[in-house]
């Protein structure tokens, strides 16, 4: 059976937040993938759970011959894969030099060569993100490194070593820079916006609005259109005295375009009011914060597990904090002064409100996806 349909189903379930912890990821993703790749997951001499190492227990050891580990797989909870790199490589190093380590939270899969030189990141051969790849591509990567026949023949390890030493690695990374930049801007990446906001404040002495910063960044993605005037016809001109050179004007600074008020709104009180819909029900909102909270509350009222699953979605988390959590400290771990900027949701959940509007909209899109709804049809809002 092809691995691709399995990956397609796993991605769908991941987007709905159906794997809330390590145990569910191990059983519902890792063992399922290994079974598809030829490993008899019920045979604990070849897929050895909780393998004892000199430093602790590896979640899974793939063994060849039986009972002899050749790959360690370490499983972490959602969004926590990067936290286990050192632990996983230490397990391999203190177990007789297991040459290959896989670290996964179900969504991301990182493949490491234990015995190579350099930092932990230097030893990573490849990082697979299931949300960033087509299912066919993801299936090919997993097959390349974890297919049982390839592992037992040594071909998988040799392929990893060859790729690690390839001179094409830098070129592949360089080619991905524009797409990575585009994604950071389109998602209103919090660190990127904060970095530019701080720089503007240092230059101007005034802190800009975060939405003005995101609008400027978005403007950088728009292709410049050059209008070429037709060439003038040459004609004889009388001689004129040579004039002193006139300095060329400098390019005007970027000015954020004015935001038009929503229909029937009062521009003096809000330029983000309007009407949103959730499953055919219409709600008026006065600003983007109210729109975000209304949609999350409406979806949570219909499904008691919704907010727990939604909190696991990668677009509902920043690089340094969560946007949906149980306490103000969880939402603003490093900013005590912002901890009042929250909205209460059902079941004791809270949503951060100190977010640019692009991030708010991305959270709404993620919420629709987790709820199994279509953004733009089942859930619709504009601000």
pLDDT in tens, 201-223: 787 778 888 889 888 988 888 76
Domain match, 10 and 89 both: yes
Give the CATH number of the domain where residue 374 resides.
1.20.1380.10
Beta-carbon contacts of residue 116 (< 8 Å; ≥ 6 apart): 122, 123, 164
DSSP state of 132: T
CA dihedral of 312, 313, 318, 320, whole degrees rounded to 10: 30
Give the CATH number of the domain where residue 66 resides.
3.90.1570.30
State the total domains in the chain: 3
> Helix 357-370 to helix 288-302 angle, to the nearest 10 degrees?
10
- Where does residue 1 rank: exposed (0-12), middle (13-18), buried (19+ CB within 10 A)? exposed
Q: State the pLDDT at residue 230.
A: 52
Average per-residue pLDDT in the chain?
86
Which whole number is the average pLDDT over 106-120? 89
**Residues 35, 102: Cα–Cα separation, whole Å:** 16
> ∠ CA 67-73-75 to the nearest 5 degrees?
135
Beta-carbon contacts of residue 290 (< 8 Å; ≥ 6 apart): none
Domain match, 358 and 214 both: no
> ∠ CA 35-38-43 to the nearest 5 degrees?
65
Domain match, 130 and 191 both: no
Q: Identify whether 229 is part of a domain.
A: no
More confident residue, 229 or 100: 100
Domain match, 61 and 152 both: yes
Beta-carbon contacts of residue 137 (< 8 Å; ≥ 6 apart): none
pLDDT digits (tens, 9 = 90+) for 143-185: 999 999 999 999 999 999 999 888 567 777 888 888 888 888 8
Please report which confidence band the pLDDT of residue 242 belongs to, taking 50, 70 and 90 as the band edges.
very low
Q: State the pLDDT at residue 253.
A: 46
Can you read off the two tokens belonging to residue 323?
Answer: 């946007």
Could you tell me if 158 and 124 are in contact, meaning their C-beta atoms sit under 8 angstroms apart? no
Coil vs helix vs strand at 250? coil
DSSP string for residues in 56-114: SEEEEEEESSTTSEEEEEEE--TT-GGGGHHHHHHHHHTTT---EEEEE-SSEEEEEET
Could you count the other beta carbons within 10 Å of the beta carbon of residue 182? 12
Q: State the pLDDT at residue 233.
A: 54
Q: Identify whether 42 is part of a domain.
A: yes
Q: Identify whether 265 is part of a domain.
A: no
**Residues 366, 379: Cα–Cα separation, whole Å:** 11
Could you count the other beta carbons within 10 Å of the beta carbon of residue 337? 8
Q: Identify whether 176 is part of a domain.
A: no
Q: Identify whether 173 is part of a domain.
A: no
**What percentage of the chain reaches a pLDDT higher than 90?**
59
Domain match, 10 and 156 both: yes
pLDDT of 290 strictly over 90: yes
Can you read off the two tokens belonging to residue 132?
Answer: 């960033």
- CA dihedral for 105, 111, 116, 118, sign (positive or negative): negative
**Residues 94, 72: Cα–Cα separation, whole Å:** 12
Please report which confidence band the pLDDT of residue 226 belongs to, taking 50, 70 and 90 as the band edges.
very low
User: By residue range, what is the domain housing residue 205?
Assistant: 185-219
Q: State the pLDDT at residue 223.
A: 67
**What percentage of the chain reaches a pLDDT higher than 70?**
86
Domain match, 201 and 150 both: no
> ∠ CA 11-12-18 to the nearest 5 degrees?
95
DSSP H or E stretch at residue 284: strand 281-285
> Helix 168-186 to helix 210-219 angle, to the nearest 10 degrees?
130
Which whole number is the average pLDDT over 65-75? 95
- Tell me the Cα Rg of the chain: 27
More confident residue, 95 or 245: 95
């Amino acid at each position: 059976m092809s691995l691709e349909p399995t990956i397609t189903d796993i991605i769908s379930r991941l987007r709905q937040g159906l794997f809330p912890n390590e145990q569910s990821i191990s059983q519902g993703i890792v063992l399922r993938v290994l079974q598809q790749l030829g490993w008899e997951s019920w045979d604990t001499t070849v897929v050895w759970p909780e393998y004892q190492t000199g430093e602790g227990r590896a979640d899974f050891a793939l063994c060849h011959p039986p009972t002899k580990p050749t790959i360690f797989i370490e499983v972490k909870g959602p969004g926590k894969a990067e936290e286990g790199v050192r632990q996983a490589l230490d397990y391999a190093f203190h177990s007789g030099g297991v040459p290959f380590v896989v670290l996964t939270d179900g969504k991301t899969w990182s493949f490491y060569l234990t015995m190579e030189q350099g930092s932990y990141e230097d030893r990573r051969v490849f990082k697979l993100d299931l949300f960033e790849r087509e299912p066919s591509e993801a299936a090919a990567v997993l097959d390349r490194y974890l297919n049982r026949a390839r592992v037992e023949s040594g071909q998988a390890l040799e392929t990893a070593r060859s790729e690690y030493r390839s001179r094409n690695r830098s070129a592949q990374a360089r080619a991905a820079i524009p797409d990575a930049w585009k994604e950071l801007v389109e998602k209103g990446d919090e660190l990127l916006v904060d970095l530019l906001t701080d720089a503007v404040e240092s230059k101007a002495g005034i802190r800009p609005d975060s939405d003005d910063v995101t609008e400027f960044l978005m403007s950088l993605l728009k292709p410049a259109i050059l209008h070429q005037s037709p060439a003038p016809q040459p004609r004889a001109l009388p001689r004129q005295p040579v004039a002193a050179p006139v300095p060329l004007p400098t390019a005007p600074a970027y000015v954020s375009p004015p935001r038009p008020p929503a229909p029937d709104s009062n521009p003096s009180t809000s330029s983000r009011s309007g009407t949103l819909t959730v499953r055919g029900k219409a709600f008026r909102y006065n600003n983007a914060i109210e729109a975000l909270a209304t949609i999350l509350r409406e979806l949570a009222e219909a499904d008691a597990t919704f907010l727990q699953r939604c909190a696991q979605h990668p677009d509902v988390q920043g690089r340094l904090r969560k946007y949906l959590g149980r306490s103000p400290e969880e939402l603003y771990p490093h900013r005590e002064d912002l901890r009042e900027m929250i909205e209460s949701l059902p079941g004791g959940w809270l949503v951060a409100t100190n977010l640019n509007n692009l991030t708010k909209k991305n959270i709404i899109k993620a919420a629709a996806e987790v709820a199994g709804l279509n953004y733009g049809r089942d859930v619709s809002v504009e601000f």
